[in-house]
A and B are shown apart, each in its own frame.
Chain A
């Protein structure tokens, strides 16, 4: 019995962190954002580390690990604001395809790093007037907005009645367009369907929730990493930046900002571990802990990202320092797959409180 990461998990996280430290420093992220390159070298590196097949069974060419393992990788990606088609390819699609069954070929292709998958869950999580599509049992018509990794080889689409579909990027009648958002380390776009064929993966709402919960825990874990990085940068900066002939870190106002960030974030680590573990091992607790970890990390992430920016003074506000990459990453994680107020309402429903 143990509440903590196993040796293998620590090694896994270390190896991803090491790769990202060496090969994907902020300058590389900037290039992805400003030059609009495809980030293939980054994804390739993650493929070499076995990341795409992390939770795919060994029988389908994967590593056969669980959502907790995926969550600690998500944390490392958040820490390094890494651009990578992680959410759909590594977690949400495999969960859906494993639950849906009969998808061994695609699972194999994902595990091998040959196929990527984007995520179009907006319609199911919270439909907006601008979007909307119909599925007639075989084809899709309409459009989906804010599709994560919309240029991936496939897109996992959830309908408002909680069916999960799969659309190939090569499908007839599919057009794709980039949507500019404030967060540029993840690419989001608009998909327009005109009689576009889509394959039914699952019509079981329980599967939809499993996939959604797994996605939410990953976004929350990404925020954990991103917020931790912002704290680390703040503490380091406060020790070297001097004003009034002393390091600003010797001023209590600054110290207390840092202490507050730590006090808020530290329990989140245990929360993510638990939520990841629950996805794998404690099905009766998984829904509630996924909802709460996504909502809670969203709130903590928001306050840490604000405070850390303040600790850096004017420098925190600049593009030069690049702290804003983490700020925006955390913002994205908050808005996607359900904003905290909506998710807390779901948490209340899960417990029959409304």
Chain B
């Protein structure tokens, strides 16, 4: 362990702090904010400059300082989404030079918004059984089929999509990873309303959608490998300990500000104990993240299990954290939508439900447990059932 915050780090913290003070309450539109964040190294920090990132050497302490200072000031840490959290790492790892040049920069800057076309009505947890087909016709793929639960499909410019390109191959070896524009003829989008009342995810129908042959990541039939190469990134990003820290700080403020019978919520031992319990778990998650990050840089320790558990632990923790705010507010915790007594912009109820969605999305937490036990602990697989 060497986490010595030398003088350089104190100065770095000062810099971050000054930056945040300058913008607190004056954060511009997301797309401009994102540009400012990248220019200053607070977003896309370690992505090479040539691909539109800031190009810094990875440094766990700097990453932690940035996370802590953003969490403290509660200023937005910039854009997320599946393009930035999933596609960018995929392309950096498996994309061609042209693909990296074409897509990474604009995606990081928020100019290109992506959606993820994986799940289908009959291929959820068993994703590899997907049937949306892609047939090569001349120098174009022709895509037919249906995706579901496609988040942000209605606003996305492009989609990264898993399709079956080799129908004769075993199911994991017949999939390809295609990239195409969402305004390509033959795409129809039907929004689905979720439990929060928003219509953030969608059904997406493909009828003879023509995609240039070279808009494929990896080779034909390698799509499953490509998708899995970065699933860990998505899973981590769904439950970032940094975001949890920000919400924890907001929860502490809420519990100091709100009262019941004239008593501050934080002064009620039962709620305070739950708050501290959550803080203990959040701390463990934060340190686990630092360990994983460090291992990625120094490659001196095995953090396979430490990485596998992040999505499951993080989403459960966030759901509980948001739930504590609701519980502590009693009937006020029910306020939603245009209710004039709304607290925190209605985010407590919204996030409470949203994180239940993320307990399910990105591979359900039951599936996470299958992965941890079978791939992490090498426990015996389920006996296979023959296809009907």
Give A residues with C-beta under 8 Å from B: 1-6, 68, 235, 238-239, 246-247, 249-250, 252, 254-256, 258-260, 262-264, 266-271, 273-274, 276-277, 281-282, 289, 292-293, 295-296, 299, 341, 344-345, 347-348, 353-354
Q: How far is the CB of A9 from chain B (nearest CB, A)?
A: 8
Contacting pair B266 A296 (CB below 8 A): no
Query: Whose C-beta in chain A lies nearest to the C-beta of B290?
Result: A3
B interface residue numbers (CB < 8 A to A) = 1-5, 59-61, 252, 256, 266-267, 269, 272-273, 275-277, 279-281, 283-285, 287-288, 290-291, 293-295, 298, 300-301, 305-306, 309, 312-313, 366, 368-370, 372-374, 376-383
Chain A residues closer than 8 Å to B280, beta-carbon distance = 292-293, 295-296, 299, 344, 347
User: Are B309 and A249 in contact (CB-based, < 8 A)?
Assistant: no
State whether B277 touches A299 (Cβ < 8 A).
yes
Tell me how far the C-beta of A228 lies from the nearest C-beta in chain B, rounded to whole angstroms.
Answer: 11
Query: Are B294 and A3 in touch, CB under 8 angstroms?
Result: yes
In the complex, residue of chain A having the shortest beta-carbon distance to the beta carbon of B268: A354
Instruction: Report the separation of the CA atoms of residues A174 and B311 in the bound assembly, to the nearest whole angstrom.
Output: 55
Distance, CA A268 to CA B380, complexed state (A): 26
A248 to chain B, nearest CB (A): 9
Which residues in A have their C-beta under 8 angstroms from that of B281? 267, 296
Q: In the complex, what distance in Å separates the CA atom of A299 from the CA atom of B376?
A: 23
B58, chain A: closest CB distance, angstroms: 10
Asked if residues A258 and B283 are in contact (CB atoms below 8 Å), the reply is no
Give the chain A neighbours of B300 by CB distance below 8 A.
2, 4
A270-B284 contact in complex given A1-B61, A249-B380, C-beta closer than 8 Å: yes
Interchain CB contact under 8 A, B284 and A271: yes
Known: A344-B273, A354-B266. A267 touches B379 (CB 8 A): no
CA A256 – CA B60 in complex, angstroms?
A: 32
- Are A2 and B372 in touch, CB under 8 angstroms? no
Contact B294 A274 (CB under 8 A): no
Closest to B377 in A: A235
Give Cα distance in the complex from A95 to B26, angstroms.
49
25 residue pairs from A and B, CB less than 8 Å apart: A1-B59, A2-B3, A2-B298, A3-B3, A3-B287, A4-B291, A5-B1, A6-B1, A239-B380, A250-B383, A252-B366, A252-B382, A255-B369, A256-B373, A258-B373, A258-B377, A262-B377, A263-B372, A267-B288, A270-B290, A274-B1, A292-B284, A299-B277, A341-B273, A344-B273
From B272, B290, B368, B380, contact of A353 by CB (8 A): B272
A68, B61: Cα distance in complex, Å: 19
CB nearest to B1 among chain A residues: A277
Q: Which of B267, B273, B372, B374 contacts A262 (CB 8 A)?
A: B372
- A8 → chain B, closest Cβ, in Å? 11
B-chain residues with CB within 8 Å of residue A247 when the two chains form the complex? 380
How many whole Å from B14's CB to the nearest CB in chain A? 17
| Contact (A252, B370) CB under 8 Å given A3-B294, A267-B313, A353-B272 | yes
| Cβ distance A233 to chain B, nearest Cβ, rounded Å | 12
Q: Is the pair A348, B2 in contact by a Cβ cutoff of 8 Å?
A: no
Closest to A346 in B: B276
Shortest distance between the CB of A216 and any CB in chain B (Å):
13
Contact with A348, one of B61, B272, B285, B370 (Cβ below 8 angstroms): B272
Q: How far is the CA of A206 from the CA of B276 in the complex (A)?
A: 22
A296, B284: Cβ atoms closer than 8 Å = yes
Check A347 against B276 for contact (C-beta < 8 Å). Answer: yes
- Chain B residue numbers with a CB within 8 Å of A282 are 3, 5
> How far apart are B150's CB and chain A's nearest CB, in angstroms?
28
With contacts A239-B379, A256-B373, A289-B283 known, is A263 near B298, CB below 8 A? no
Closest beta carbon of chain B to A77's beta carbon, Å: 20
The CA of A209 and the CA of B57, in the complex, are separated in Å by 38
Other than the given A4-B300, A246-B383, 6 more pairs (CB < 8 A) read A1-B294, A6-B2, A282-B3, A344-B272, A344-B280, A345-B272
Q: Shortest distance in angstroms between A340's beta carbon and chain B's nearest beta carbon?
A: 8
Q: Are B1 and A2 in contact (CB under 8 A)?
A: yes
Q: Which residues of chain A have C-beta atoms less than 8 A from B276's C-beta?
A: 292, 295, 344-345, 347-348
